[in-house]
Structure 1
Amino acid sequence: MKWSIPERIVERGRDYMKEGRVLSIVQDAERKVWHAEVLGKELYRVQLDGTPKENDICECPYWMDHGFCKHTVAVELSLRQKGTSRIIKEDAPIIFEKRSLSVSEMFTKGFSKLNHLEKKDKLTPLTVEYVVDVIETNNYYPELAVLGVSLRLGYQGVKPKTYIIKNIGEFFQTFQKEGTFLVNKQHYFDLIKENFTIETQELLEQLMAIYQTSQILGVSGVQVKGKIDKRYLVLPIDQGQQLLEKMSKTLHFQLNDEGKKYRHLKFIKGSMPIIFDFSKQIDGSYKLVINDQITTFLSHYQWGFSQDQVFIFTQEQEAIYTTLLQLLKRIEQPEIIYEKHELSDLFGSVIPLLKKIGVVNVSEEVESEIIYRPLEPIFIFRKIKGMIKLRIDFTYGDVVFSTDKKYTIESGADQEVVRDGKKEQEILDQLAKFGYKQEVSGFEKSLPAGERLYYFFKAEIPTFRRLGDVRMGKKLRELFLDAQHHQPLIEVSDSDSWLDVRFDITGIAEQEIDAVLASLLRKDQFYTLESGEVLSLDSEEFQQTSEVLTMLRKNMKNVQGTIKVPRNQGLMIENMLEHNSRAHFSDSFKKMVTNLTHPEKFEASVPKTIQATLRSYQIEGYKWLKMLSYYQFGGILADEMGLGKTLQTITYLLSEKEEGQQKGCALIVAPASLIYNWAAEIKKFAPDLQAEVVAGNKAEREQLASQQGLDVLITSYASLRQDIEMYQALNIGYLILDEAQMVKNSGTKTAQALKSLTIPQRFALSGTPIENNLDELWSIFQMILPGLFPTRTLFRAMKPEEVAKIIQPFILRRDKKTVLKDLPEKIESNLYSVLTEEQKTVYLAYLKQMQENVSQMDQDSFKKNRLSILAGLTRLRQICCDPSLFIDDYTGGSGKLEQVKDLLVAAKENNRRVLLFSQFTSMLSIIEEELHALGVTTFYLRGSTKPKERMEMAEAFNAGEKDVFLISLKAGGTGLNLTGADTVILYDLWWNPAVEEQAAGRAHRIGQKNVVEVWRMIAEGTVEEKMNSLQQEKRELFQKVIQGNEEQLAKMTEEDIRTILSIGE
């Protein structure tokens, strides 16, 4: 016992000894320590040093601060009481019996252990040694060895004694649980993580992760000499370098290699410690001496060990070095003797590889005997008796190694040319791929025909050209007709109502031109002539020709190289061939293209008898109609509403009559609401045109249409469908489809009826030729210019930009901003209203029900229930207007209705005149009743309003009569001129913004003198808000195809509907 321990501590220790608080003492003879347990306030473990040094340890707090305590004293005194010295001699271990504990002591001791766990790290700091061994898995191939990591465990100290961990898996399982690990029968360690340094913890956790991965893969331990050794964990290839570097930086690392131990490792990239010495011997032979300083090579890891250095091999270096090792196994000494004739192959193929793994020293004497020249192979192809013969001259400067020996030119006797073995082998491998077989003077294969002959010239020959110089015999060369010397010539001319497109090919017989064109249509890359020669069709010029043929395929008639196509394809042909130097156009064709691209320059005079002064843009529109008519083309006049499409059309029809160009009577088909408007406009602007509205019962319509001397017949779409046989019998030379979007569906009976009419000249008028999708544009052009577009299926595959390019000459679109600089401004505003409380309750109930129904639908069920979903959306929109539209006993009011009443009263007080549109006629009736009660006078245009009455109301309103014009959106969205209004109110939103634009266009058009305000009424926090956002997001297709900044699609997609219903409360 140390003399420095205070007496009071010794006395307390004696008391503990007397009270029997030393519960057990166990001798560890190997470590020369005593392990004891002492019961104080807690159960403490004591380690008593069994040497004269007396370096005792206790886990109590007092010992931590002072290095001694009453517990260590009590253990030593207990030993003395039993007649035993603390100094352990080389005797067998003595184990003292444990004293039996009372129930209370057992209870206290059991819980004391839990408190004791928190202090273990302060008691037994541990150290780990990492031992890495090279473990051979194959005796004959030592390079296939792996690295096995094993661990040794012990307490920290100056020279800690460590113990081998015999089962590394059990160690990691205990480490993970922070349990007690027995290294042998007498020694155990508490693997609490805090007992290890942070660096050791990180390394152990990384190794543990590797062990756990190996367990998942079913790998346990390492097989050593036929037995599984569970000490080891195989070092994984992907983490090998990182782990070795980490372990070697610790003070407890050891690599065992070739009987030597290394404590630190250094990884190196670059040149290996391998030296190759090549010199000439006295007897005239040559010796290669290999000095390999790599003691261990691990091919799996691509590492070579040389003492404490680890050389990192690349994949190529690993392959070279592995081959070297296998070759060295076959010889006793690392020396190889060469003869002079072997030098060329050695320096050409082997030495370059050896330089990649080490240092090659070549003596000056040997260097003087070696010639280095670049390889320049020459390939000579010839056609002989149905075969392709190939001779290869491997040329190195003046020296030639030919596959035909008689063409070989040797080097001088005292020098050897170094051959490029790698490139020569590459050439031989390529020959094998192409099916060549070796023969006496070179290589050969059967002369291919057709596609294989084309492949020979287009794939094989270019491959050999990349490898060297290609020379070809005349007979073989003449089998291939290169497009560069046999280019297509295209001549385009205008012939009546057709275009003649004539094709010719330099050097190709005229009777074979059609067959070549057929090959181009099939997208063939070549054509085999009757003579067996192959014509290449892959040049840019032939590809352009192929594109033209593909485009014209549907309507073309082909006769010996000349194709007849409709005139309407002319501009597309010109666009495709404008940069083709081999394309020629006739003067008449050039003039047609100029007129199509610059219709304003077409020579046409405005009729003298027209009773109107046309604006400049209207004259251009008139000229455009005349130009298309001259070339027998149809078109769509797509000016924005209010720009005078009617006047431009009337001017065109009048000029045809004045110039004596009339092809027959003109038939104008319009919505029923507009037929009398057309008659009035014709009477006003062109009284010389004899026009008749074909209306009434069937007998009356037949009588009206059969009158002699009529220039224009005006009928509705509905009447036309019923009278189609009558119109088929009449001599009609012009067809004008007003508001042509009415026949946007080609499958309707009206559209089918129009297609059945054989009328030479056709035009469509529509401010919105596209409302929902591009199919509508296809349908309209099918009626006015058949053949312009391909089939519907092919059309749907076209991009909007492609469609725009095709229709560019045949559609004319201007907007008010561009052409009417003097037109007053149109100001658009959104006015938001708030639902009343009862209105909101009704709305949320309907919305929740719809959301629940739609959320449960997949795509198929959504399609099946589409109509009911749209009906539900209509209900939500009606609630936004006024729930009483469909709820009979509803009395909760409408926020929007109250807002519009205030607006209209204020409008009257400020002398503003208003057009109010709604989709729901019953809503207009409610508004009318409310306004009358407020003293606001109204006109009301319903769908049932007769055409004549419509015109009378419009004229009266424009003359200043009444305050508000209530209009059904569908009934009055088109064809009305209501410039007497300066305010437009859209009471409820429509899916299609184009319809709303048309409604606003009733007031904002030619003749308007005042600024027009458009108020769009939106119920806040409802589907109307989402509808408004949707309209803003979908304004691209019209812009891409028709013009640039106008109305857009409105067809509701499933995504649109789901988005609209996502509105929360």
Structure 2
Amino acid sequence: MAKENVIRSFVGNDAYYKGEDFPRFFVRYIGNVNEGELIHHHFRVASQHRTGFYDVIITVKDTKLLRKSCDCPQFDKAGTCKHVAASLINYYDDIIHDDYEISNDVLDLFLQENGDGSQERIKEQINLGLDFSFEDKKIYYKAKIGTKRLYALTKSKVDGFIKAYNNRENFEFGKTFTYEPDKHFFSKQDEKILDFLFSYNEGRSYGYYYYANNPLEMNDREFKSLLSLMNNKEFTINGYLDVLGVKEECPKIFKLSYDNDNYHVVLNNDTLILDNECKYIYDDKTLYLLPNNISRLLNVLKNKELKDLCFKEENMVKFKNGLLKEIKNNLIVEDSVKNFTIPKEKKTMVYFDIHEDHIVGMVKYNYDGVVIDRFDINNDIVRDLEFENQVVQDLARYNFELNDKEYILYDFDDVCDFLEGGIIEFSELYETFTSEKMQNTNILKKSRVETSFGIGKDGILNYEFKVGDVPSWEVSKILSSLKNKKKYYKLKSGDILKLDGNQELEELEKLNEDLELDEKMLSSGGVEIPKYRAFYLQTLKDEKYKNVKTNKLFDTFIKNFKKYQDADIKFSKQDEEMLRSYQKDGVKWLYTIYKCDFGGILADEMGLGKSFQTICFIKQVLKEKKDAKILVICPTSLVYNWKIEFDKYGENIKYLVLADNKKARHEALENSNNVNVFITSYGLVRNDFEDYEKKEFEVCVIDEAQTIKNYQADMTKCVKKIKAKTKIALSGTPLENSVLELWSIFDFIMPGYLNTLMKFREKYQVKDVDEKSLDILKNLNYQIKPFILRRLKRDVVKDLPDKIENIVYLDLPEVQKNLYKELVDDTKKRMDELIETKGYKSAQFEILALLLRLRQVCIDPTIIYDDYKSDNVKMDYLLDIVNSYVRDGHKILIFSTFKKAIDHVKKIFDDNSISNYVIDGSVKGKTRVQLVDAFNKDDTNCFLITLKAGGTGLNLTAADIVIHLDIWWNPQVENQATDRAHRIGQTKNVTVVKMVTKGTIEEKILDLQQKKKIVADNVMEGHSEQVLSKLSEKEMRDLLTMDMK
């Protein structure tokens, strides 16, 4: 298909005819982009009135036109336009390479006569001549066209020639030469030049290109663009200077000479400055485009009319440091100049040595074989100060400081950094020399660390460590440096040990930190460690330090302890029948703890029989030591519970309850040869401490061990001073509010195991629950895990009925709601006053007292206001559900923090004939036991209990409904209370009802409990529900926000 038809078919007839009106120089080919088999050709086409441009893209695949686009409005409407057509009409042959058509073109070019013998077909090349001139900061050019003789493209001819050239028509230049497209052609280079000349000034009409016979004007940017098209094309300047090449550089155009005691700098005679701005020079048939610095210099010389820059010897230094730096590469030094050399080669030499942990550097330069110290003065050689200063800048990057012609690196870390990497960089940049001492100083990046735990035949547990061949006293100093975040350590051998990123040393340091060993303890390379730490060491080895070695005795000891279930214990027939499998394991665990001279915490969940297991363990002790003295300490309310437990399970155990007056207790202790077990209360231990201080017990058991959580209390201090071979703590909640409570219990069972209180607090009392804190708590878990045995009901008693928890949200009635709001406003005001006068920390307990009033109003306004007679939502709801439960035959436990609330409930129940028992702080131990026994046997409906008085130690499995009137800060306390019913012996599902008033502090406490649910989970392996850490001021204020509709 003919080219014209192909284009018509692609763009449409209308676009094609309009495209024909565009001259070739209206269209500029920008370039192409290849995308696989596709080629995208980019054109820029001038608008018809030359007011702007449109971008055209034509996509070609093989020799076929595939797609087109243009950013003109017409293309958006019709999908085609004259700009696409104009691009194809003018450049079709350049973008479509049809081998058949090309072959024909070649044949046509070389055919001289056809068979008809009519027409010569050889084309003759037309030459394009250009001449440029520079005048008044402007550049002009003239164009000439012809074959042998060149004809000027004058104003009268330019318009016609452009039209003829674009339309491929003949054009007559003179009588002897006519341009004929069929006979003549321009070279590809000349075509590009013509396209540029006809289009670069597209904003003007053709008629303004010339005026009279004057040449065309162009600016500096356009001239340089044109020169980029004229590679190897000859042209002239000013009509007579032949130019054979163009270079963007400056030749040697200056000359330095010496005459009559003066130096002279002059411009080379052969150099011709072409323009007023000194941007172009002509020299040896070459046009030079000068760099800016040379142009500026020539301008200065020209403006000052200095044809000869003359100076004396004394100004030579100024010349070298100033002008010479600019022209040294463009300067010819004549023979008349003596002792003046511009070096051809130069290099920097740096010398390093070590003196007293400092690195000393010296710098020298080599100019053509002449070595010069940096601080030498040598006027004979032209020195390159910019080149010389580079090494100084590099030295400064490594913190070298100049001191009396030497560059010194003082800081030890900087010295080591330089030895490790800087010296290599300098060696790559400069010729570098180092002293023998420096070469022999090694940076050791890795360490051969060996660590081991072992038990000797003497039964002593040892921890040993080695770091290569480094003496042990130095290892401790290395680890101290590492702990203080030092990057390097200089060994006595002179080598330098890299600490930063040294994984082996970091692991050793962390291990020592986990073992809480200080520098003094480590100085010998080995440490004796209490045997009870063996389990912690084993856990560390298993979890974190896999490379630690252990000896056979150590492994055997760990293995035997972990297999406590295999302990050789024979139970009595009665105990064998009564003890569940997990309880037998518990007894064996206690016995193993005892035999290893350790202490332990039996932390089974409430209701799993901790007291029963303990009594069975005591039996085993008494089998071996019939005269052993064992002390059981418990809260006052549980003394008689223990008496009952010993009566029930402790057959043949001689026990004594120490609960009479002081004189009787004293005499009982003094005359106790026939007694094995003493049962007393925490308070009485404190009162009778002088008696206990003299005694030594085989075993001391404390029940409800959280009682000694306050490590500052006198009672706690007295209990901890009791002397016993083995100390056992019983607690369903060994950790309630703070890890410090756990420390206090461990300080009783194994003093010193968790270090001093100050160190423990510093390490483990975390404030925020984040990843780092969890790692810290995990480490604490590693330490306590071997000495805490904790089982949950769901894990060990598969047949224990379910515990079903229901949270009931109640809306405060209007009067009670208004009362609550008034109290909130008053609390906020008083809280602000307290914080302002005392500070938040000091005012915390007073603020908690204010919050207490808010909780009381939610539970029962009559606790605060005796004359309150209006609606009381919790009491009303309680009466409704209790009546319903009683009708269905359930027995109910009702708990509250506040005695006044319990008293009010009792009055309501008495008024409504609901039978009930009450336990509060005023009920004595014997009476408590009697009431519990009665409730479990008779048909009394309800048991009303204050949390503090009856939250622990009571066995009330007759009840299957537990109601909590109020929400306690720590749900552990609530759970303990609930477990009075949900425990061994319970045969029915237990329903737990918690009453929460919506939008009040009670709901906020529930939210807070959920947010604080993590600390104990990590310390106790997820078995505790949560721990309430101290409230921040923000959390305290959040409790006062209200969300009541």
CA shift in 2, pair 1:383/1:811, >3 Å: same
Q: Deviations over 1:861-905 (max 9, x none)?
A: 555554554444333333333333343333335232222122222
- Alignment correspondent of 2:162: none
Candidates 630, 652, 656, aligned match of 2:617: 652
Taking only aligned residues, the RMSD between alpha carbons, in angstroms, comes to 5.2
Candidates 651, 665, 670, aligned match of 1:687: 651
8 Å Cα contact 1:880-1:1019 kept in structure 2: yes
- Unpaired runs of 5+ residues, structure 1, are 1-248, 250-261, 298-319, 338-344, 355-369, 406-418
Residue 721 of structure 1 and its aligned partner are, at CA, apart by 0.7
- What letter is aligned with 1:493? G
1:991 matched to 2:969? The reply is: yes
TM-score normalised over the length of structure 2? 0.60
- What letter is aligned with 1:494? I
Q: Deviations over 1:527-556 (max 9, x none)?
A: 556666655555332333333444433697
Residue 513 of structure 1 and its aligned partner are, at CA, apart by 5.7
- What letter is aligned with 1:499? L
- Matches for 1:634-673 after TM superposition, within 5 Å: 634-659=599-624, 664-673=628-637
1:824 matched to 2:774? The reply is: no
% identical equivalent positions: 29
- Matches for 1:581-660 after TM superposition, within 5 Å: 583-593=548-558, 599=562, 603-609=566-572, 610=575, 613-659=578-624
CA shift in 2, pair 1:836/1:506, >3 Å: closer
- What letter is aligned with 2:530? P
- Alignment correspondent of 2:729: 764
- Whole-angstrom distance in 2 between the partners of 1:909 and 1:546: 68
- Whole-angstrom distance in 1 between the partners of 2:326 and 2:583: 86
- Whole-angstrom distance in 2 between the partners of 1:909 and 1:386: 91
- Whole-angstrom distance in 1 between the partners of 2:274 and 2:647: 111
- Alignment correspondent of 1:1055: 1034
SS at match of 1:1014: strand
- What letter is aligned with 2:466? D
- What letter is aligned with 1:502? E
Candidates 687, 697, 707, aligned match of 2:661: 697
CA shift in 2, pair 1:778/1:350, >3 Å: farther
1:789 matched to 2:754? The reply is: yes
- Alignment correspondent of 1:815: 792
Residue 649 of structure 1 and its aligned partner are, at CA, apart by 2.7
- What letter is aligned with 2:567? A
- Whole-angstrom distance in 2 between the partners of 1:663 and 1:291: 123
CA shift in 2, pair 1:383/1:671, >3 Å: closer
Q: Deviations over 1:517-536 (max 9, x none)?
A: 66666665555566666555
- Matches for 1:735-754 after TM superposition, within 5 Å: 735-754=700-719
TM-score normalised over the length of structure 1? 0.59
Residue 915 of structure 1 and its aligned partner are, at CA, apart by 0.7
Candidates 911, 915, 929, aligned match of 1:937: 915
- Whole-angstrom distance in 2 between the partners of 1:572 and 1:1054: 37
- Matches for 1:525-536 after TM superposition, within 5 Å: none
Residue 465 of structure 1 and its aligned partner are, at CA, apart by 1.9
- Alignment correspondent of 2:526: 562
Candidates 697, 700, 705, aligned match of 1:732: 697
Candidates 803, 808, 815, aligned match of 2:777: 803
Bigger CA drift: 745-754 or 553-562? 553-562
Bigger CA drift: 723-732 or 906-915? 723-732
Residue 1007 of structure 1 and its aligned partner are, at CA, apart by 1.5
- Alignment correspondent of 1:907: 885
- Matches for 1:234-253 after TM superposition, within 5 Å: none
Candidates 542, 545, 551, aligned match of 2:505: 542
SS at match of 1:718: helix
SS at match of 1:564: strand
1:501 matched to 2:501? The reply is: no
CA shift in 2, pair 1:294/1:704, >3 Å: farther
CA shift in 2, pair 1:462/1:715, >3 Å: same
- Whole-angstrom distance in 2 between the partners of 1:387 and 1:1022: 69
- Whole-angstrom distance in 2 between the partners of 1:529 and 1:1023: 63
Residue 979 of structure 1 and its aligned partner are, at CA, apart by 0.9
- Whole-angstrom distance in 2 between the partners of 1:675 and 1:774: 28
- Whole-angstrom distance in 2 between the partners of 1:717 and 1:793: 25
- Matches for 1:123-162 after TM superposition, within 5 Å: none
- What letter is aligned with 1:542? L
CA shift in 2, pair 1:292/1:1029, >3 Å: farther
- Alignment correspondent of 2:249: 277
SS at match of 2:852: helix
1:1040 matched to 2:1012? The reply is: no
Q: Deviations over 1:53-78 (max 9, x none)?
A: xxxxxxxxxxxxxxxxxxxxxxxxxx
Q: Deviations over 1:736-759 (max 9, x none)?
A: 221111111111001111232333
Q: Deviations over 1:141-184 (max 9, x none)?
A: xxxxxxxxxxxxxxxxxxxxxxxxxxxxxxxxxxxxxxxxxxxx
8 Å Cα contact 2:777-2:1015 kept in structure 1: no
8 Å Cα contact 1:739-1:766 kept in structure 2: yes
Residue 1001 of structure 1 and its aligned partner are, at CA, apart by 0.9
- What letter is aligned with 1:723? D
Bigger CA drift: 830-839 or 714-723? 830-839
- Whole-angstrom distance in 2 between the partners of 1:730 and 1:714: 15
- Unpaired runs of 5+ residues, structure 2, are 1-202, 204-216, 229-245, 258-266, 280-289, 310-320, 331-342, 375-385, 767-772
Residue 426 of structure 1 and its aligned partner are, at CA, apart by 5.2
- Whole-angstrom distance in 2 between the partners of 1:743 and 1:755: 9
Residue 437 of structure 1 and its aligned partner are, at CA, apart by 7.5
- Alignment correspondent of 2:400: 433
Candidates 472, 492, 501, aligned match of 2:453: 492
8 Å Cα contact 1:622-1:652 kept in structure 2: yes
Q: Deviations over 1:611-634 (max 9, x none)?
A: 554334334434443444444333
8 Å Cα contact 1:979-1:1004 kept in structure 2: yes
- Whole-angstrom distance in 1 between the partners of 2:602 and 2:663: 33
- Matches for 1:355-394 after TM superposition, within 5 Å: none
SS at match of 1:966: strand
- Whole-angstrom distance in 2 between the partners of 1:1020 and 1:459: 67
CA shift in 2, pair 1:282/1:510, >3 Å: closer
8 Å Cα contact 2:350-2:362 kept in structure 1: yes
- Matches for 1:53-202 after TM superposition, within 5 Å: none
- Alignment correspondent of 1:465: 424
1:482 matched to 2:415? The reply is: no
Q: Deviations over 1:118-152 (max 9, x none)?
A: xxxxxxxxxxxxxxxxxxxxxxxxxxxxxxxxxxx
- Matches for 1:46-57 after TM superposition, within 5 Å: none
Residue 266 of structure 1 and its aligned partner are, at CA, apart by 12
- Whole-angstrom distance in 1 between the partners of 2:1043 and 2:692: 56
8 Å Cα contact 1:702-1:726 kept in structure 2: yes
8 Å Cα contact 2:248-2:291 kept in structure 1: no
CA shift in 2, pair 1:839/1:513, >3 Å: closer
- What letter is aligned with 1:501? Y
Q: How many residues align?
A: 730
8 Å Cα contact 2:349-2:366 kept in structure 1: yes
- Whole-angstrom distance in 1 between the partners of 2:876 and 2:659: 42
- Alignment correspondent of 2:1004: 1026
Residue 910 of structure 1 and its aligned partner are, at CA, apart by 0.3
8 Å Cα contact 1:595-1:627 kept in structure 2: no
Residue 779 of structure 1 and its aligned partner are, at CA, apart by 2.2
8 Å Cα contact 2:971-2:1026 kept in structure 1: yes
Bigger CA drift: 322-331 or 840-849? 322-331
CA shift in 2, pair 1:323/1:809, >3 Å: farther
Residue 974 of structure 1 and its aligned partner are, at CA, apart by 0.4
